[in-house]
Amino acid sequence: MRQLLTVSLLFLPLFIVAQELSDKQNNSFIFTTEVMVGQSAESNSNYPERNLQYQLWANFGWDQSKNWQEWAQRMKKVRTGIGLGYTNFGNSDSLGSAITLMPNIEFNAFRSDRLKVNVGMGGSYFTKKYDPLTNPNNQGITTDLAWSFRLFMYYNFLTGEKIDWRMGIGYSHHSNGHTRLPNQGVNSFLLSLSADLKSNIANTSEEIDINRYTRSSYSYLSLRSGYGINVLSGAYNDKKGIYTVSGAYGKVLNNTFRIGVGAYYRFYQHYYDYIEGNESLVQDGREFESFKMNPGWNASNIGIYLNGEFLLNHFGIDLGIGYNLHKPAYKIDWRINQGWDNTPREIPEYWMLGEFDSKFKLKHAILTRMGLKYYLIGTTKAPKNNLYLGFHINANLGQADFTELSLGYVYSFNFMNREDKP
């Protein structure tokens, strides 16, 4: 059951987004072939030796310039797509390869038609992963399936009627979202050569009048409930739940950008079970014995956050950063995972544990969050009431904390009524 949930959390949003981005009404189809070469950083000490990494990529994209929806016109010359990629990490025996499926969005950079930024988030299947006996030095990925993210900048150096040639530079990241340890992640830096094959298969004769969209701003209130999964450490490597409730208030600008502030409460089952089970670090005479006086409160997390979102009709790209006001059991987490490797369940008094240094203070304080949303009613209609499914990676300042599925409700004040078409 938990394996099925993990698969759903990784790949269900890709099919939902694919359905949304494949709406070709008034859009031109663009097929992109891309070759990338680069190097992945060492994920851990004694990381396997490797040659240059290479990737082969095919992207099925749609130019949204002729899309009548407001988000497409506000963002100007935006492109959406679904990418399919193959990666060879330069060591077939230890690192293997990955197959990636990734929705992505591309837009002009610095108001230049030649400079483009492409951002994508999806999932990957890995042919090789960490194994304590047969593959102990590859601590980057421990699961068959992992989240994937990429950020690239392209320069269009040769433009033709049917083909545009581009070169680029970028970064890619793979992580299982803290669903199994070790999970050091795979970070790669790459150079790219690609070709856009253009085909004007859509009816583009109708011109779009951007002036039909007046500047707008309205308030919203959002509530959500989420369920996440993660593991605590190598000795507690079974998946357990994180339960979240959250609310936010903010503004929607031009029916395209949502920005707000909010607060959240989380309950970590792993933290609660560790404290309630009288495990090593909370036993009498140990550092966190006081946590046993109120295990539920000490397994909780309360904080505030700032949220930003790009609204692409049924599809939302969601980013957030927050501050943890209360997360005491994270100290146990840090002590176990940032000291000597392979910390046992019964921790001896002499064991070297993680230190509460400046790195800890930052990760203890700062929440980051990134993910995808799918709205029941397209945001182009600016409905008064809406529901969404959310799929997110939550992190402690970039270090994966847990993978989450959420259900949310949005209420819009002074909502707008607009026709779907000009």
37 contacts 52 by C-beta, under 8 angstroms? yes
How far is CA 103 from each of CA 11, 95, 278, 329, 356, rounded to the nearest angstrom?
11, 24, 45, 36, 39
Instruction: Let me know the angle formed at the C-alpha of 135 by 132 and 138, rounded to the nearest 5 degrees.
Output: 100
If you ran DSSP here, which 8-state letter would residue 354 be given?
A: P
For residue 76, tell me if it sits in a domain: yes
Segment holding 19, helix H or strand E: helix 2-21
Start-to-end C-alpha separation, the chain: 47
Q: Are residues 193 and 219 in the same domain?
A: no
- Mean per-residue pLDDT for 390-404? 92
pLDDT band at residue 71 under the 50/70/90 scheme: confident
Q: Are residues 240 and 385 in the same domain?
A: yes
User: At residue 260, does pLDDT exceed 50?
Assistant: yes
Q: Are residues 231 and 122 in the same domain?
A: no
The 3 state secondary structure assigned to 269-295 is HHHHHHHHCCCHHHCCCCCCHHHHHCH
Q: Are residues 101 and 230 in the same domain?
A: no
Q: Are residues 98 and 220 in the same domain?
A: no
Q: Are residues 256 and 343 in the same domain?
A: yes
For residue 37, tell me if it sits in a domain: yes
For residue 77, which phi and psi values (nearest 5 degrees)? Answer: 55, 40
**Exposed, middle or buried by CB within 10 Å (0-12, 13-18, 19+), for 293?**
exposed
If you ran DSSP here, which 8-state letter would residue 207 be given?
A: P
Q: Which two tokens stand for residue 80?
A: 């959406």
CA 206 to chain centre: 36
- Closest by CA position to 182, among listed 235, 144, 139, 138: 139
Q: Are residues 141 and 222 in the same domain?
A: no
C-alpha dihedral sign at 241, 246, 252, 258: negative
Pairing of strands 366-375, 79-88: unpaired
Q: What percent of the chain has pLDDT over 70?
A: 88
For residue 318, tell me if it sits in a domain: yes
Q: Are residues 336 and 314 in the same domain?
A: yes
Q: Are residues 220 and 192 in the same domain?
A: no
Last residue of a domain, one of 176, 199, 222: 199
User: At residue 206, does pLDDT exceed 60?
Assistant: no
CATH, residue 275:
2.40.160.20
Last residue of a domain, one of 177, 199, 221: 199
Quick: pLDDT tens for 2-38.
444 454 555 555 555 554 554 445 568 899 999 999 9
| pLDDT higher at 347 or 161 | 347
Domain boundaries, position 115: 2-199
Q: Are residues 147 and 275 in the same domain?
A: no
Q: Which two tokens stand for residue 223?
A: 């509530």
For residue 422, tell me if it sits in a domain: no
410 contacts 388 by C-beta, under 8 angstroms? yes
For residue 206, tell me if it sits in a domain: no
Quick: pLDDT tens for 162-202.
899 999 999 999 999 899 998 889 999 999 999 999 876 54
Instruction: Let me know the angle formed at the C-alpha of 162 by 161 and 164, rounded to the nearest 5 degrees.
Output: 90
Q: Are residues 183 and 114 in the same domain?
A: yes
If you ran DSSP here, which 8-state letter would residue 26 be given?
A: T
User: Cα separation of 56 and 38, whole Å?
Assistant: 12
Q: Which two tokens stand for residue 110?
A: 């610095």
For residue 205, tell me if it sits in a domain: no
pLDDT of residue 211: 61
For residue 334, which phi and psi values (nearest 5 degrees)? Answer: -65, -45
Q: Are residues 97 and 160 in the same domain?
A: yes
**Mean pLDDT value across the chain:** 89
Q: Which residues pair with 390 in a beta bridge?
A: 373, 406
Name the domain count of the chain: 2
If you ran DSSP here, which 8-state letter would residue 131 be given?
A: B
For residue 311, which phi and psi values (nearest 5 degrees)? Answer: -95, 115
Q: What percent of the chain has pLDDT over 90?
A: 75
Is the preceding omega at residue 295 within 30 degrees of 0, hence cis? no
Last residue of a domain, one of 154, 171, 199: 199
Quick: pLDDT tens for 93-130.
999 999 999 999 999 998 888 999 999 999 999 999 99
For residue 327, tell me if it sits in a domain: yes
User: Cα separation of 210 and 206, whole Å?
Assistant: 13
pLDDT of residue 409: 98
pLDDT of residue 422: 40
- Closest by CA position to 227, among listed 386, 374, 370, 392: 392
For residue 208, tell me if it sits in a domain: no
